[in-house]
Structure 1
Amino acid sequence: MNAPAASPAVAVRDVTLRDGLQLTGKLLDAQRKAGLARTLLAAGIPELEIGSMARGDLVPPMANSLELIGLLTAEELERCWIWVATPRHVEKAAAAGARNFQYCFSVSDAHNRANIGRTAEDSLAAMPEAVSRAQAVGGRIQLCLATAFTCPFDGPVDPDRVLEIVADPRTAGSCDVVLADTLGQAHPQQVGELFTAATAPAAGRRLVYHGHDTWGMGVANALAAVDGGAQVIDGALGGLGGCPFAPGASGNTATEDLLFATRPDYLTPQVLGTLVRAGEELLADLGEQNRSRTAQGARSEASAFGWVLTDG
């Protein structure tokens, strides 16, 4: 008998195809990306992050994101998010067929300059136009705040500044608020407190936690975010990922680990097996280490445990 869900109200969003791939040295064929997206969607993952409008010369693994958007159906794209940083990004992605946009900038100026080439205030000032362009095509747009806990250049980030941005009227029109532990340096109490404090200024918008597992706190931080009010938590297959403009960041919290911890209704041993195999195949092709503890456990010899794979 399966254990009851630890956090039945939370959804796991898989970000393998964006944040997961962006530090790898290999550009996956768009058809391969589309196949992986369909595997994840068919498994029951409710939402995916599938690509980025970052310049291909700066983030090569994202160079075919527009091609990928064009390969997916409108129904599939309803469950997929595209990373954007400017109104022009929204326009280009929308023209390709995207309807869900994750408008991202950093709370810290130093990281925003490294990542996007402008100050956080400049990014915030441009958000109303990005919202307008998303709404013009009947789309949705998220406010995504990178370095919501620490910055690789400036150190600890003032939580009051995070809350000020969440409450800023220029973010009105966004459907969700994503708070990112870009470096994976946060701890559970810190995460829980920020999400609890963000509930009021979010004013009904969904709260999303995007975490990295650099210091081994990925799952614990995600569950603390849920306790603080997060309704969505991000992960990548095998713990793949990291930011090319954030020294010290390692991979995302593993999707497999988050699913095993939260036990959504669609997660069966068979579905978990499908995801473990998909992650293993992807990481082997990329020459990357599999950091998922759940994937390791699924390959153990504890055959009496129903979640262990039996295909060798």
Structure 2
Amino acid sequence: MDRFRVMESFVRVVRAGSFTVAANQLGLSRALLSRHINDLETRLGVRLLNRTTRSLNLTEEGRTYLEFCERLFRDVEASERAIVGAKAEPAGVLRLAAPKSFGTAHLADAIIAFAKLHPRLRVSLSHENVSLRGSHYFIERGLDLVLCIAPRSTSATVGREIAMLDWTTCASPDYLARAGRPATPADLARHACLVHLNASSNDYVWHFESGKGAMSVKVPGVFHSNSALTLRKAAVAGLGIAQIPHYAVADDLERGLLAPVLPRHRVPPRPLLAVYPQTASTPRKVEAFVDFLAAWMASGELGRKPGKALRSIRLAS
């Protein structure tokens, strides 16, 4: 039995979630692929997958073995890349996920430009509100990299700061005419507030900076969402005051559909992070995309360069 080939079969079955799909991807028969998995389980003496007619689920031993296989494949890729040379053209498939609001509104342009520069690399982008649950997330979803608008506490991952994104406190003119305009951040405690979930360690505490220093206020949430686009629609509809990324409401502010609230009190910017598994050597395709996106963001008005040089930050477990 070709041990490396069988390990590849196992990883592909888990990623595809289907023996049939994985067999087609590998150019094997479903029967041979099933035999690979059976032989692997027999050799290891444990069950790796729980199979039903409708689903495949990893056992605890299967999850551990999958991590081992993924780590081994990454090490092999890193070693081969070192032999070929660090400047080799990125190739293969780059799988990444980004928040729906940012990915839909802005990332597409960067992806297209990046793809033109690297014709040997295929990019697969998923729009989802990412919630990292540890390094397992990358394995389970088959991802190389995710973009987050707030740091996530994960293990065995590295976060690269791409840019600082401005946030805006705003509301519709209709809401402000009905409820009044807050004069200080403390006044927000008496207003209907639209809360962006999973944007910080405490979503109900809004932070501000002014000439008098920093201050925070706990706001009452009358509407909640983990999508900036949904909160933007709620604000335009007059449901209350929102604090969301500026890029999501820039057009509405310019057209007068939304108005700034507390303009003398600035919302601290938050980092856009590229997060990927910690390995001995970052895959060339990930490195190339992160470098490109950082330069792309810095060249436009969407994101501002961090105050210091772009840096890598280890996210604590």
Same fold (TM over 0.5): no
- Which structure would you say has the larger RCO, counting Cα contacts within 8 Å and 6 or more residues apart? 2
The structure with the largest alpha-carbon Rg is 2
